[in-house]
C-alpha cells in the first residue's frame, strides 16, 4: 500500500494524532472521576482553617442518610447540608471530634457512621470479606484436588498405523 507523506505543519499521521487525542481524553476523564467532589458550600466554611480541617475530617466519617453511599462532605442533599452545619456548630462550641461524632450518632444511630465500630453487632459486617475470600480459596483448592487424573488409554494398532500415515512425510514431494 502506498503511504503519502504529510508535511509536518499538516499534523502528521492522522492515526497517530487520533491516538494522542484519545489518550488525552482518557487522562482528563480519569482525572475528573478521581478528583473528590466536595459539596461544602462557601457559606458553610469556617474562618479558622484548623477548625475547617477538623470539620472536613469529621464530615468524611459521616454517612449521608439520604444518599447512603456518600459522606456528608460529598453529598448535595439538604440533610447532608444540615449535618455539615451541625458539625461546624459543635466544633465552634468547643466539642472534640469524638464528642461531635458521638452527638451525631446519638441523634441518627450508628448507621450514620461510614465505618461502623468493631463490636459484636457488626462482627459479621467486618468479617464477611474475609469469609468470602476464605470460602473462595477453599473452593479453588477442592476443585483442583478433585479433578480426576487424565488417564489416556494407549492407541490401538489401527489407530497408531493411521497416525503414522498422517504424519509420515509425503513421498511425492521429492
Fold of 42-112: Helicase, Ruva Protein; domain 3 (1.10.8)
Largest CA distance in the chain: 100
DSSP string, 50-109: HHHHHHHHHHHHBB-TTTSSSBTTT--SHHHHHHHHHHHHHHHTT--HHHHHHHHHHHH-
Q: Would you say residue 63 has pLDDT above 60? A: yes
pLDDT tens-place string over residues 5-26: 555 555 556 666 778 778 777 7
| Measured distance CA(46)–CA(113) in Å, rounded | 23
pLDDT tens-place string over residues 34-55: 555 556 666 677 778 888 889 8
Q: Where are the domains of the chain?
A: 42-112
Amino acid at each position: 500500500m502506498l503511504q503519502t507523506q504529510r508535511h509536518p505543519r499538516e499534523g502528521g499521521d492522522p492515526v497517530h494524532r487520533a491516538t494522542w487525542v484519545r489518550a488525552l481524553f482518557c487522562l482528563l476523564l480519569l482525572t475528573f472521576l478521581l478528583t473528590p467532589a466536595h459539596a461544602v458550600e462557601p457559606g458553610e466554611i469556617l474562618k479558622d482553617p484548623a477548625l475547617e480541617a477538623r470539620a472536613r475530617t469529621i464530615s468524611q466519617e459521616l454517612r449521608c442518610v439520604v444518599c447512603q453511599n456518600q459522606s456528608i462532605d460529598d453529598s448535595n442533599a439538604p440533610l447532608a447540608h444540615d449535618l455539615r452545619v451541625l458539625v461546624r456548630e459543635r466544633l465552634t462550641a468547643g466539642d472534640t471530634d469524638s464528642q461531635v461524632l458521638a452527638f451525631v450518632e446519638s441523634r441518627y444511630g450508628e448507621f450514620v457512621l461510614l465505618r461502623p465500630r468493631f463490636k459484636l453487632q457488626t462482627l459479621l459486617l467486618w468479617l464477611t470479606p474475609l469469609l468470602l475470600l476464605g470460602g473462595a480459596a477453599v473452593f479453588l483448592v477442592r476443585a483442583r484436588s478433585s479433578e480426576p487424573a487424565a488417564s489416556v488409554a494407549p492407541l490401538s494398532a489401527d489407530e497408531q498405523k493411521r497416525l503414522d500415515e498422517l504424519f509420515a512425510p509425503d513421498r511425492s514431494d521429492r
